[in-house]
Amino acid sequence: MGFVSAAFSSFRNLEDEKISLDAEEIFLIGENGQGKTNLIESIYALSFGSSFRTRRTALLIKNGCPEALLRGSYDHGGGHISEIAVNLSRKGKKKITVNGKAVRDRKELLENFPCVIFSHEDMEIINGPPERRRRFFNQTLSLYNPLFIDLLRRYGHTLRGRNILLREHKHELLAAYDISLAAVGLHIQSRRESVTQEFNRTFSPLFREISGIDAEIHIDYRPSWPRNFTRDDIIGLLKESHERDIRLEATCSGPHRDRFEIIWQGKSFASFASTGQVRLGSLVLKMAQACFFQSKSGRKPVILLDDVLLELDASRRQRFLKALPEYEQAIFSFLPDEQFLRYVQDSTLMYTVKNGALLARQA
């Protein structure tokens, strides 16, 4: 089960063709810049309706072409096949369909085609800005509970409205927005508090297992609003901050300012970790996300691994692969000189990727 085929038209540098993906494990082998990541990005786009590398739709379209089209067939099991299509316009428009029916909300994709991506960009979860960690935990929550997306949207809508009032000096309406912001924001804070506690029960032992380092590590959730505050307390806090918010023309507290910190042996992991340790930590975070999704939902995701094993030594690579959760499908990319043949199984489907073309190869 998982994707059984994918077809590309004017997407990045990929040749316009349809390929088989009818295998539990798929290996993409090629030098850098040949199209391995582009293929993985296409599968991610079929699962999420967006790229994990850019928000600019035009960058996904081959030079000189007005649009790009992705198609995929996904086997849910029991004879249930979904046909997904993602049409991308250079003007920024996007049309997504499942079985010919337009998808109005990308939540529908998340519910039906769960996917976890491992990529080099994941290092930003650890050493990037706080927004990057908030996004990671928002995605972790949304993977198994898509209704959390609605909660984030309501909060974002209320926050934007309040900030517009601040910029336009319509201060008499702030009180009404304070009430709405407090109500929705406290729900988000409660969900984040709960998911962090649960996530640590997966992440901490996984890190020790894969790293081989017996040291305490955990995620520390630091909400912008005090934990013991009620809705009325938050409304009061927002009212007290009116003068500052008016001066700065922005809402200065709330879940959009929450922080998540990785703490290792009592210190911030990002402040002293080496590049290799940051890479390992980011891999374990995504591993924990996949394991957490499976445990919470009882479902298996599609896992995409884009050249992420290269920087692990042999023993950690073995422990990493052993710790992978059950998956519907796993798509790996490798450089030609990596020892990928040792991981090949009888059912593994392999492609050589060169100049955007995919050629089936034997072990």
The confidence score (pLDDT) of residue 352 equals 95
Name the CATH superfamily for 123-298: RecF/RecN/SMC, N-terminal domain (1.20.1050.90)
CA distance 152 to 155: 5
The confidence score (pLDDT) of residue 363 equals 65
CA distance 211 to 253: 36
Cβ–Cβ under 8 Å, residues 303 and 327: yes
Angle between the N-to-C axes of helices 174-211 and 231-240, in degrees from 0 to 180, rounded to the nearest 10? 110
In the chain, where are the structural domains located? 1-114+299-363, 123-298
Strands 17-20, 2-9: pairing is: antiparallel
The confidence score (pLDDT) of residue 1 equals 82
Q: Considering only CA atoms, which of 84, 77, 68, 64 is closest in space to residue 11? A: 68
The confidence score (pLDDT) of residue 14 equals 96
CATH code for the domain defined by 1-114+299-363: 3.40.50.300
The confidence score (pLDDT) of residue 341 equals 78
**pLDDT one-digit tens code per residue, 179-205:** 999 999 999 999 999 999 999 999 999
What string of H, E and C letters represents the secondary structure of the chain?
A: CEEEEEEEECECCCCCEEEECCCCEEEEECCCCCCHHHHHHHHHHHHHCCCCCCCCHHHHECCCCCEEEEEEEEEEECCEEEEEEEEEECCCCEEEEECCEECCCCHHHHHHCCEEEECHHHHHHHHCCHHHHHHHHHHHHHHHCCHHHHHHHHHHHHHHHHHHHHHHCCHHHHHHHHHHHHHHHHHHHHHHHHHHHHHHHHHHHHHHHHHCCCCCEEEEEECCCCCCCCHHHHHHHHHHCHHHHHHHCCCCCCHHHCEEEEEECCEEHHHHCCHHHHHHHHHHHHHHHHHHHHHHHCCCCEEEEECCCCCCCHHHHHHHHHHCCCCCEEEEEECCCCCHHHHCCCCCEEEEEECCEEEEECC
CA distance 228 to 263: 23
CA distance 126 to 264: 12
Alpha-carbon separation of residue 310 from 16, 73, 133, 270, 285 (angstroms): 29, 30, 24, 21, 17
**pLDDT one-digit tens code per residue, 267-304:** 999 998 888 889 999 999 999 999 999 999 999 999 99
How many other CB atoms sit within 10 Å of the CB of residue 274?
8
Ranges of residues in the chain with a pLDDT under 50 are none
What type of residue is 331? I
